[in-house]
Structure 1
Amino acid sequence: FSSGYALYTVFDSYVMAAGFGLVWGLMIFNLDRYIVMSMKSYGKWWRDAVVAAPRLAMAVLLAIVISKPLELKIFEKEINAELLTMEQEVFKQQEDKVKERFNAQVEDQRQQIAKLKDEITFKTAARDTLARIAQIEADGTGGSRKKNLGPIYRAKKADADKAQAELDSLLAINLPLIKEKGMALVAVDSAAQAGIAALDRDKYDGMAARMEALSRLTANSQAIYFANIFIMFLFISIETAPVFVKLISYRSPYDYLLHELEHGFQMANLEHVTLLSNEVNTKVNYDTEVSRHLVLARIAAEKELIDHKLKEKLEDLKKRPFDWKLGKI
């Protein structure tokens, strides 16, 4: 069931999940069976502990592998809720990355628009100030404190009119630019929204995502953390129980019979190896002696042939006359 659920999460196929789950179950069953059956009791706890140590390690590993998919299934509802949060976080990160590509353009357009508006605001404030000065000069509430439309008023009114003309000129230039920059800003925003709309919004519920969600849940909830630990310990105890039972048990008749059979097989194998070794040694000695005899026989034959030729040569020399003067035959 554990592996079947894991494969269904990955491939979303009942057939593959059922098939692999069956194969996985048979494999785990045979591994557990081999772990227990391969243990032998030697009657000494330290020796038995050394033999059991790697089997215990393998049992713990199998328990962790088996328990993890079941933990994902047990906390499936909580994990699905956490996956929604994680999915939104992933989508938010994707959107932020898209927006980052356009941030420079957006910021540049906004700064230019703000600069143009600031120029208009500054000119408007200057115009209003000069117009107010001219007004209070006209009604006598300020300036010379004389209510009249004399030369002082006309001078101040001329300054106000000049400021108004400058403002009108600035508005004629800046307002079209502000409109243009605003349209460019809208275009950039539309491009960013189009990029966001084109993002791949696949469902965020793979095996790795579920394990990450479970990790976040265990980090944020003590209840889930301890439940997760206890489930893992449960499977560890189930997987290691046969090994511990075998480890603490006394030697049974089965152990003695197994030892007898193994010892008999070992002795039979030793006998077979010894006989084979002796046979090989005998053959080697035989071949060595035969080769040695052949060499000696060849040497004797060569000696006899040489002696015979020397004897014939000597007889031939005796039959020929010797010339004493010349010192040769």
Structure 2
Amino acid sequence: MQWLWKAAGSDGYILKKSTYSDQVKYACLGGIVVATGFMAAMAGGYAIYTIFEPKGSALDGGVHTSTAIMSCIFGVIWGLIIFNIDRFIVAATGKGDGTEAITWQEFTNSLPRIVMGLVIAITISKPMEIRMFKSEIDAELHQEQLEKRKAYEIATKANYETRFDAIDVQVAKIEEGREALIQRIKKAEKEYYDQLQGRAGAGAGNGPLSKALKQQMDKLEIELGNYDGDKKNELDRLTSERLKLTQELDRELAKNQEVAGGLDGLLERIKLAHEIAGAWITFFITLLFVVIELTPIFFKMMLIKSPYDFMSDNIKELIRAEEGIQIKYEYYNDKKGQERNLVINHQVKRRIDEKIALMAAQTELSDYIIEKWKEREKKNINENVDAYISESK
């Protein structure tokens, strides 16, 4: 309980002497601050893990150990930071006017603390939201990754299609030239064998015409061989270019998979959480954390003055009296007409008066010494004016 009192920024020495009701109030107040710090640690750690975990398919399970350790360390640090901020906000929030009603003046005075509390509450709520709807978010995110990957693949293949087409056109041109030679060779072979077998009509047989056809066929085969030799380097180059282009396309497609996996981030999950849960559920989850965060501030404004408050005021007055500090409440009006308190530091005033008196005494003594010195010098001059004049020369 004493530890919770410290978390609430209250004075345990006074609470030990106060009523049990006051002790429970401030213990509950400290419990809320501790709970907020704990939730902040969980939310911060999960957010960091979501940001830095290895990206991939949203349905891939498992825990990345090094990222989890880093997230735990950050979560503890973040939780302590939020705990310290909340503790300061609660400790700095006054008692208000000592009644249950929250007046407009009390609300406006606490507005900066309320704004800070709202920011902290929203910061805590978002990572908790994506953890609450993790299974639904994973399924939706996986579908988005597949669609994005498919779109990337179509776009990437379209970018490489023209380059493949350029290579295929050159290869097809070479193949067409070779095919034309092969057809000529086949035609020459057919004419030659028709001539030998007597199917060519007059002059059939192994005569001068068949020999000429044989020479033409051999010439075409030599021409085909020369064509293959001439085009071999070009075909090898085109094949190599196509292979390199295919490998480059495979690498780009692999990158597309990484890009699609990169959708598994904190921002995308928060967006999907809002789409899946809807505006109202998201609003009420955030409102829950806002209520938890702002409860201590409004709680302190609603507290009725209790023995703890009176003893606290009494001890403060005793300390001021012991230190010689006097406050005259609503003593004067400033330039804007607002009533101001006059703070008198009697020990400081006494020290200043002592210094002034000491300086006045020193001044008086200095004047007295100078006067006596003047009297002595005048006496010496009267007794022996010539000696004084000679000494002056």
Give the CA RMSD over aligned residues: 5.0
Q: What is the identity, as a one-letter code, of the residue corresponding to 2:361? A: E
Matched, 1:262 2:289: no
- Write the letter of the residue equivalent to 2:46: Y
Counterpart of 2:373 in structure 1 is 301
> Hey, what's the Cα distance between the residues in 2 that align with 1:184 and 1:204?
30
* 1:198–1:266 Cα change, 3 Å: same
Structure 1 partner of 2:215: none
Question: Quick check: which one's strand share is greater?
Answer: 2
Of 125, 128, 131, 1:73 maps to 131
Which residue of the partner structure matches residue 107 of structure 2? 49
Asked if residue 242 in structure 1 is aligned to residue 289 in structure 2, the reply is no
1:83/1:204 contact within 8 Å kept: no
Structure 1 stretch displaced more, 4-13 or 107-116: 107-116
Query: 1:298 Cα deviation (Å)?
Result: 2.8
Gaps (5+ residues) in structure 2? 1-41, 54-63, 178-222, 327-343
1:195 to 218, 228, 251: 251
What pairs with 1:5-154 in structure 2 (closer than 5 Å)?
5-9=46-50, 10=52, 12-13=64-65, 14-18=68-72, 20-22=74-76, 24-25=78-79, 27-29=81-83, 31-43=85-97, 45-85=103-143, 87-88=145-146, 89=148, 93=152, 105-106=163-164, 108-109=166-167
Matched, 1:213 2:268: yes
The SS at the match of 1:255 is: helix
Counterpart residue number, 1:2: 43
| Aligned-partner Cα distance in 1 for 2:384–2:153 | 114
Cα distance in 2 for residues equivalent to 1:107 and 1:275: 96
Structure 2 Cα separation of the partners of residues 315 and 25 of structure 1: 91
| Cα contact 1:8–1:17 (8 A) shared by 2 | yes
Q: Whole-Å Cα distance in 2 between the matches of residues 4 and 280 of structure 1?
A: 56
> 1:246 aligns to what SS in structure 2?
helix
CA distance, structure 2, for counterparts of residue 78 and residue 65 of structure 1: 22
Number of residue equivalences = 273
Q: CA deviation at 1:312?
A: 1.0
Match of 1:125 in 2: none
1:284 paired residue number: 356
Shift in alpha-carbon separation, 1:97–1:74, aligned structure 2, 3 A: same
Q: Which amino acid aligns with 1:213?
A: E
Q: Are 1:42 and 1:251, in contact at CA under 8 Å, matched by a contact in 2?
A: no
Give the counterpart letter for 1:2 in structure 2: A
**Contact 1:63–1:235 (CA under 8 A) maintained in structure 2:** yes
Does 2:346 match 1:274?
A: yes
1:163 corresponds to: none
Structure 1 residue 53: deviation in Å?
1.5
Shift of 1:301: 1.0
DSSP-derived class of the 1:40 partner? coil
Q: 1:31 to 1:216 in 2, by over 3 A?
A: closer
Q: Kindly tell me: are residues 297 and 179 of structure 1, through their superposed partners in 2, closer, same or farther at Cα, counting changes over 3 Å?
A: closer
| Distance of aligned partners of 1:103 and 1:302 in 2 relative to their CA distance in 1, 3 Å threshold | farther
Q: In the aligned structure 2, how far is the partner of 1:273 from the partner of 1:195?
A: 78
SS of 2:281's equivalent in the other structure is helix
The answer to whether the 8 A contact 1:2-1:69 is kept is yes
Distance 1:298 1:94 in 2: 104
Contact 2:90 2:296 in 1 (8 A): yes
Deviation of 1:74 after TM superposition, in Å, equals 1.1
Q: 1:70 corresponds to which letter in structure 2?
A: M
Partner in structure 2 of residue 148 of structure 1: none
The AA in structure 2 aligned to 1:193 is: L
Match among 282, 287, 298 for residue 233 of structure 1: 287
Q: 1:235 to 1:117 in 2, by over 3 A?
A: same
Q: Cα offset for 1:49? A: 1.3
1:312 pairs with one of 370, 373, 384: 384
Counterpart of 1:75 in structure 2: which amino acid? F
Higher helix share: 1
Per-residue deviation, 1:233: 1.3
Structure 2: distance between partners of 1:267 and 1:103 = 90
Instruction: Check whether the contact 1:98–1:196 (CA below 8 A) recurs between aligned residues.
Output: no
The DSSP-based 3-state class of the residue aligned with 2:95 is coil
Offset, 1:234: 1.3
Aligned residue for 2:352, secondary structure, equals: helix
Q: Per-residue CA shift, 1:23-82, capped at 9, x if unaligned?
A: 554554554444334322232823321332222222222211221221121121222234
Is the CA contact 1:72–1:210 (under 8 Å) kept in the aligned structure 2? no
Q: Where does structure 1 lack aligned partners over 5 or more consecutive residues?
A: 120-168, 318-329
Separation in 2 of the partners of 1:204 and 1:190?
21
Q: Check the 8 A contact 1:59/1:240 in 2, yes or no.
A: yes
Return closer, same or farther for 1:225/1:110 CA change in 2, 3 Å cut-off.
farther
CA distance in 2, matches of 1:97, 1:118: 30
- Residues 295/196 of structure 1: CA separation in 2 closer, same or farther (3 Å cut): same
What is the percentage of aligned positions where both structures have the same residue? 21
Q: Distance in 1 between matches of 2:156 and 2:381?
A: 109
Conservation of the 8 A alpha-carbon contact between 2:125 and 2:285: yes
| Whole-angstrom CA distance in 2 between matches of 1:308 and 1:55 | 80
